[in-house]
Amino acid sequence: MKFVKSKRLLIVAALLLVAGIFFFFGIKSLIPKKDIPRKPETNSAVFYDVFEALVGYKLVAEVWIETKEDYQKLTVMLRDQTSIDMDKEQQWDKELLYWNKLPSWLKEQGAKQRMDLTDSGLSVEVTFPESQAYFVYVPRTDMGFLGWLTANKVTPHTVPKYDWRPIIIWVVPSLLLIAVIAGGTWWMVTRGPLGGAMRGFGKKEKREGIERPKERFSDVAGMEEIIREVNFIVKFFKKPYILKRLGGKPKKGVLLSGPPGVGKTLLARAIAGEANVNFFPITGSEFVEMFVGVGASRIRDLFSTAKKFAPAIIFIDEVDSLGKRQAGLGDSAGQEYRQTLNQLLAEMDGFDSLSGILVIFASNFPELIDPALRRKGRIDSEIKIPLPSLAGRKAILTVHLRNQTKGNVLDTDVDIDKLANKTYNFSGADIANFANEAVFVAAKKEKDKISKVDFDEAFDIIVLGLAGKPVGDLEERGKTAIAEAGHALVARLLPALQKLPIQVASILRRADSMGLVQLIQEGDMRSVTKEELEAQICFCFGHRVAEQIVYGVISSGASTDLGNATRIAHDMVRKYGMSELGPIVVSEETSETTRRDCDMAAMKILAACEKRTEDLLRANERILRGLADALVLKEELRVQEVDDLIRLLQSEAA
Ligand code: ADP
Ligand code: MG
């Protein structure tokens, strides 16, 4: 047995030697014989405008120019140290575009900068850690380009075209050989006789999964209090003696909970980024479809690797999918969950709070997390992240538009306060999406600034969805228009709905509707009165009632509206104590009779609202029809247009 093993190793070594010889000759034939300084090899790319700025500021020492089919690849060697003198005037008129890029790029590269204000402007001394090489793609250059380089103290070299034949003759076969050897070795390691020993060996060296997140607290906007709290957790995690003095212990597990898109994952990454420790992210759902035992062993590996790289933060995202109560699951899936969860529980118990491991969990559904995981010593505290407030939304918008602000591409009519005001109930992710969409909208029009109209369009796309042509022939459209006019008229005539203006009334087809009237809420979260809830129910009935008045029929189109109306009515009765039953809240303990009474009370509210809607629309039937005609004609009306029309039709009637 022993003999077999070493014999195989011998063969592998011999093959490697042969491959090595091939490789050596291949590479040797590639080295250019002419006497030009050797081109540095680099994988770091820079964009052309950064390159232009670097040359402009005389930070480049040499370039190597390689000609490809229809472009050129430049390898750029920076000077070790230099200083940039910036003349204020010059900066503003011609260099503005690329000067914007340079400081942030320099910072990214870890370059040291020292700034001195001089009389004429600014002198920035730049020191790179070591001379650095980058590559950049440029279009085919002409003689002027070389002149520009030399004028900026750059030495250009032309790299001769390689003869590719040696590669084919020498390097390709050697690579193939190496691949065969590697494959064979891999086979032996995983399945063959060398199995056991090598496998354990391979694993220990595995560093897969470690990250050093670049996110910082400054990327997480609008949660100052939460960040302050989290900061303490991190501080005590890194300096446990502060707590120890008082007889305390750092937390081992922290849960970030809240609706999707509020920045839980972002915050977790920023925590690791700020703490400057190793980060091991893993997502609960990754375990869901695994075979029995695999989830548990990954958890074990995760913790044991993290311990080796302590201080470290383990991040288990979507932990609910792992800790979910799996009672209903079939045998093998249920078993897998239990094993994985049990392993996680064991690992949480199996390390000391001083061992330099912090586990951060995140979940959109904290109530689904297994209770065993929520005990002290496992999840020690829960930090709830709500949807952002008005101020928070403003801060998040500001963060996501910071590049645009810096680059001066926001038009003067863009008012971040107003935008924040509009984004009621948006999560951080929605806001990021909104900002992106606006940029996209402006880019589609090839504008060089993003203005208010682009944000308006982006808002429509995000809130309403993309609009298509109206559905059906003229008659069909007329029906849709009556229904939507019904909604719109209720929305504009009931005083209690004035706080929810119409975003748009439309008969354009969208993903899930033939037309719509979208109310929008603005500003900060607030409580809602009984009056307003009733008015909202009337708004829902607008569709059905209008159809009934004009066509004498009821269609299926109003079903979503009815659902909404019913839900509001039930909430009024059961949650807010806003019915004839008075101040009760329905809970698990509520008796069957009370529940029945609640249903009755909700029905009464619905009936009263329907009656009220009917009275309102009958009294204004002419306006209803007029509004519908306008919708058929124009397909989409904004709140201002709706109001103008109503006023016009009212004055005609008088
Ligand atoms: P969650 O994990 O809570 O579902 P994420 O952290 O994945 O949310 O957020 C998605 C994206 O939304 C982030 O990458 C970021 O661009 C944006 N975002 C969410 N919250 C914020 C915030 N508070 N500040 C800045 N950006 C945010
Ligand atoms: Mg997330």
How far apart are the C-alpha atoms of 274 and 237, rounded to whole Å?
A: 12
Does the C-beta of 295 come closer than 6 Å to ligand 1?
no
Tokens (6 digits) for 438: 């606006």
Q: Using omega within 30 degrees of 0 as the cis cutoff, is the peptide bond preceding 311 cis?
A: yes
Chain centroid to CA 642: 36
427 vs 53, 347, 385, 452, CA distance in Å? 38, 33, 11, 21
Active site residues: 484
Of the listed ligands, the closest to the CA of 260 is 1
Q: Is the pLDDT of residue 4 over 60?
A: no
How far apart are the C-alpha atoms of 457 and 464, rounded to whole Å?
A: 10
State the CB neighbour count (10 A cutoff) for residue 413: 11
Mention every residue, 6+ apart, whose C-beta is less than 8 A from residue 154.
Answer: 55, 60, 61, 62, 63
Q: How far is the CA of 124 from the centre of ligand 2 (A)?
A: 40
Ligand 1 atom, smallest distance to 259 CA: 3
What is the strand order of the sheet 516-519 is part of?
516-519, 502-506, 636-637
Predicted local distance difference test score (pLDDT) of residue 205: 36
Q: Helices marked H in 31-142 — which ranges?
A: 48-56, 88-93, 96-99, 101-108
Of the listed ligands, the closest to the CA of 389 is 1
Q: What is the pLDDT of residues 328-355, one digit of tens each?
A: 556 666 777 788 888 889 999 888 877 8
Q: How far is the CA of 78 from the centre of ligand 1 (A)?
A: 37
Does the C-beta of 397 come closer than 6 Å to ligand 1?
no
Torsion angle of C-alpha atoms 112, 117, 119, 122, degrees rounded to 10: 40
Does the C-beta of 260 come closer than 6 Å to ligand 1?
yes
Of the listed ligands, the closest to the CA of 223 is 1
Q: How far is the CA of 428 from the centre of ligand 2 (A)?
A: 11
Q: How far is the CA of 271 from the centre of ligand 2 (A)?
A: 14
Band the pLDDT of 35: cuts 50, 70, 90.
Answer: low
CB 348 within 8 A of CB 308: no
Ligand 1 atom, smallest distance to 430 CA: 12
Band the pLDDT of 215: cuts 50, 70, 90.
Answer: very high
Band the pLDDT of 1: cuts 50, 70, 90.
Answer: very low
Extended strands (E) in 284-356: 312-317
Predicted local distance difference test score (pLDDT) of residue 202: 39
How far apart are the C-alpha atoms of 117 and 113, rounded to whole Å?
A: 13
Q: Which residue has the tokens 């370059």?
A: 111
CB 66 within 8 A of CB 60: no
Q: What is the pLDDT of residues 113-163, one digit of tens each?
A: 777 666 666 677 777 766 578 888 887 667 778 888 888 888 888 877 666
Sequence spans of domains, the chain:
2-31+165-193, 48-158, 217-384, 390-463, 467-653
Name the residue of 219, 255, 266, 427 whose CB sits within 8 Å of the most ligand 1 atoms, as the mutation to test its pocket.
266
Does the C-beta of 360 come closer than 6 Å to ligand 1?
no
How far apart are the C-alpha atoms of 480 and 514, rounded to whole Å?
A: 7
Ligand 1 atom, smallest distance to 222 CA: 23
Tell me the CATH number for domain 217-384: 3.40.50.300
Tokens (6 digits) for 22: 């091939």
How far apart are the C-alpha atoms of 196 and 200, rounded to whole Å?
A: 7
Ligand 1, atom 4, residue with closest C-alpha:
261
What pTM, to 2 d.p., does this model score?
A: 0.64
Q: Which of 284, 306, 305 is nearest to 295 (CA)?
A: 284
Does the C-beta of 250 come closer than 6 Å to ligand 1?
no
Predicted local distance difference test score (pLDDT) of residue 157: 83
Band the pLDDT of 106: cuts 50, 70, 90.
Answer: confident
Ligand 1, atom 6, residue with closest C-alpha:
263
Average pLDDT along the chain = 83
Q: Residues 250-272: what's their mean pLDDT?
A: 93
Q: What is the pLDDT of residues 449-475, one digit of tens each?
A: 999 999 999 998 888 888 888 888 888
Q: Is the pLDDT of residue 367 over 50?
A: yes
Does the C-beta of 319 come closer than 6 Å to ligand 1?
no
Predicted local distance difference test score (pLDDT) of residue 439: 95
Q: What is the pLDDT of residues 621-633, one digit of tens each?
A: 999 999 999 999 9
Ligand 1 atom, smallest distance to 260 CA: 4
3-state secondary structure of 60: strand
Predicted local distance difference test score (pLDDT) of residue 101: 67
Of the listed ligands, the closest to the CA of 385 is 1
390-463 topology per CATH: Helicase, Ruva Protein; domain 3 (1.10.8)
Band the pLDDT of 194: cuts 50, 70, 90.
Answer: very low
Does the C-beta of 202 come closer than 6 Å to ligand 1?
no
CATH architecture for the domain at 467-653: Up-down Bundle (1.20)
CB 353 within 8 A of CB 240: yes
